[in-house]
Amino acid sequence: MARYAHIIGWGKCVPRRVMTNDDWSKLVDTSDEWIRSRSGVRERHVASEGESTLTLGLEAARNALEVARLSPAYLDLIIVATVSPEYPFPATASLVQDQLGATHAGAFDLSAGCSGFIYAVAIASETLRSGAYQYALVIGSETLTRMMDWTDRATCVLFGDGAGAVVLAASDVPGGVVSHTLGSDGSGGDYLIVPGGGSRNPATHETVDQRLHCIKMNGREVFKFATRAMDRATRLVCQKANVDLEDVELVVPHQANDRIIQSAAKALGLPNGTFYVNLDRYGNTSAASIPIALCEVLDMGRVHRHDHIVLVGFGAGLTWGAVLVQWETPFPGVRIKWWQRLTNALYYRWARVRSVFARTRRRLESWRTSEGNGQDSGDGDGDGDGDGDGHAPPRSSPAADTPPASLTQPSQPALSLPDQEVAPAELPPPPPEPTPAEERDDATTEK
């Protein structure tokens, strides 16, 4: 039986702090008129202390799970698309997995510039269609303002921070992610690059002084590439799905520049109203821009059953990609109640307790091992066993890194799985119970 991958949940999160063009005009030689005429950006959200790629992505993920009415316990895969991860390693996705309490999910980060969310959705959908997994969480999260040169008016006024997420589910109902196309041309890699911080230019006083750890962009070349890439990717993804351009109800493009979007719409022969634009309120949020925009159109009621939606992006690499979605997912009928939110909050608190327990258990095991084998023996071989052979002593227990099964495998997950045995014309209905998600400040996350 054929399997399909449907988007069943969506959510976003943006920082509280907002910087307008007038705010920027006090920092660099620019003006509101100059910025708007060249990019279309009016304001953008900027991460403050305590906000990061992880915190924004985690909140977006919780919102998406709430809409999907799905417990993190059922997630099989988590992908975080980002070019501004929490750390070089571990993967931000692994940190999200831990704080969600998604104890059975694999997790990894994906770096494909502003095309990252498209790449991640394509990979996740194919994984679900293959039958390997049932549920996947895809997050696009960025804090690009932490990578900007705040003295370069050509780039600093363009970018913003934020996160968006979707939950995908496998089903035998036709539709969902119908087709996708991905592309790359590394010969243009230096058009959009952060030169410092990698193995080519590791961090030194010189790289910091030269601002090599900040975004560098050849705007003219990126503009020419972007208009061609969006046109080509949109046409190709429609051809793969045997869908005429005229039958596409909505295009959600990467929000990089208003002129790029207008040029792509003109090249495709589609009315500007087909393209959803929120660039003026968020700026370029890289891998987060498409999921944030998708959340807005879904919450606004602009998407209906059987609609064809094209998600298309381009970015550093150079990369580009597009996904065509045939929407078949029913929208949630009612908001979750207070007691359901309380249940969600308790689940996430359990996840934090579980994480602390696992860390404590590892520390205790490490301490016991070092005490029994002489960690500071001074034998010079660095293995801590005092024999000078350079080989570390065996661990006392192969399960020392694993918390008790009662925590990692709760006997009663927060939600029951949707029933997959349904009529072909309908998607599996959401379970009767909500997913875990905490009460959130409406000023932080727009529903």
pLDDT, tens digit, for every residue of 100-109?
Answer: 999 999 999 9
* 405 vs 275 pLDDT, higher one: 275
Joined tokens for residue 9: 């949940």
Q: What span, in angstroms and rounded, lies between the C-alpha atoms of 178 and 310?
A: 10
402 within a domain of the structure (yes/no) = no
Cβ neighbours of 99 (radius 10 Å): 19
- Which whole number is the average pLDDT over 131-140? 98
Least confident of 77-91, 192-206, 365-379: 365-379
Q: Does residue 412 lie within any of the structural domains?
A: no
Give which of 232, 127, 218 is closest to 184, Cα–Cα. Answer: 232
- Separation between Cα atoms, residue 182 and residue 258, nearest integer Å: 23
- The set of residues, in sequence order, having a beta carbon less than 8 Å from that of 234 and lying 6+ positions away, is 245, 251, 264, 268, 310, 312, 322
Q: What is the pLDDT of residue 439?
A: 41
Task: Give Cβ neighbours of residue 112 (< 8 Å, ≥ 6 apart).
Answer: 81, 118, 119, 184, 287, 315, 316, 317, 319, 321
Higher pLDDT, 435 or 339: 339
Give the pLDDT of residue 398. 36
Task: Check residue 67 and report its DSSP letter.
Answer: H
Whether residue 133 is contained in a domain is answered as yes
> What number is the average pLDDT over the span 320-327?
98
DSSP letter at 375 equals T
What is the arithmetic mean of pLDDT over 152-165?
96
- CA dist 96 and 142 (Å) reads 14
Cis before residue 318, ω within 30 degrees of 0?
yes
Residue 211 lies in a domain: yes
Examine residue 429 and say whether the peptide bond preceding it is cis (omega within 30 degrees of 0): no
Q: To the nearest whole number, what is the mean pLDDT of the chain?
A: 86
Residue 377 has pLDDT above 60, yes or no: no
User: Residues 262-285: pLDDT tens digits?
Assistant: 999 999 999 878 999 999 999 999
Place of tokens 């490490």: 366
Q: What is the mean pLDDT of residues 341-349?
A: 88
Band (pLDDT 50/70/90 cuts) for residue 333 is: low
Buried b (16+ CB within 10 A) or exposed e, 191-222: bbbbbbeeeeeeeeeeeeeebbbbbbbeeeeb
Give strand pairing partners of 251. Answer: 275, 310
pLDDT tops 70 at residue 94:
yes
The pLDDT value recorded for residue 332 is 76
pTM: predicted TM-score of the whole model, two decimal places: 0.84
Give, rounded to a whole angstrom, the gap between the first and last alpha carbons of the chain.
36
> 174 by DSSP, 3-state: which?
coil
Q: What angle do CA 40, 322, 66 make, to 5 degrees?
A: 85
Residue 107 lies in a domain: yes
Task: Please count the structural domains in the chain.
Answer: 1
**Catalytic residue numbers?**
114, 254, 284
List of residues 6+ apart from 423 with CB closer than 8 A: none
Confidence of residue 404 (pLDDT cuts 50, 70, 90): very low
Please say whether the beta carbons of 144 and 215 come within 8 A.
yes
CA 117 remoteness from chain centre:
6
228: domain range? 4-326
| Cα–Cα distance for residue pair 201/196, rounded to 1 Å | 5
In angstroms, rounded to a whole number, what is the distance separating the alpha carbons of residues 123 and 177?
11
The answer to the question of residue 346 being in a domain is no
Residue 334 lies in a domain: no
Give the tokens for residue 281. Answer: 């309120």
- Determine the average pLDDT of the residues in 287-306: 97
Give domain status of residue 67, yes or no.
Answer: yes
Residue 28 has pLDDT above 50, yes or no: yes
State the residue for tokens 């020392």.
400
| Secondary structure (3-state) at 171 | strand
Give the per-residue pLDDT at 434: 43
SS3 of 398-418: the string is CCCCCCCHHHHCCCCCCCCCC
Decide if pLDDT at 157 tops 80.
Answer: yes
The residue ranking higher by pLDDT, 339 or 223, is 223
The pLDDT, as a whole number, for residue 341 is: 82
Question: Residue 85 is encoded by which pair of tokens?
Answer: 């991860």
Please report which residue ranges of 131-285 form alpha helices under DSSP H.
205-209, 219-240, 258-268, 279-282
- At residue 442, the pLDDT reads 44
CATH code for the domain in which residue 167 is found: 3.40.47.10
Long-range CB pairs of 242-249, under 8 A, 24+ apart, other chains included? 243/178, 243/308, 243/324, 245/269, 245/270, 247/308, 248/274, 248/308, 248/309, 248/310, 248/324, 249/274, 249/303, 249/304, 249/307, 249/308, 249/309
Tell me the mean pLDDT in the region 421-425. Answer: 34
Lowest mean pLDDT among 178-192, 280-294, 301-315, 341-355: 341-355
pLDDT value of position 336: 78
pLDDT computed for residue 373 by the predictor: 67
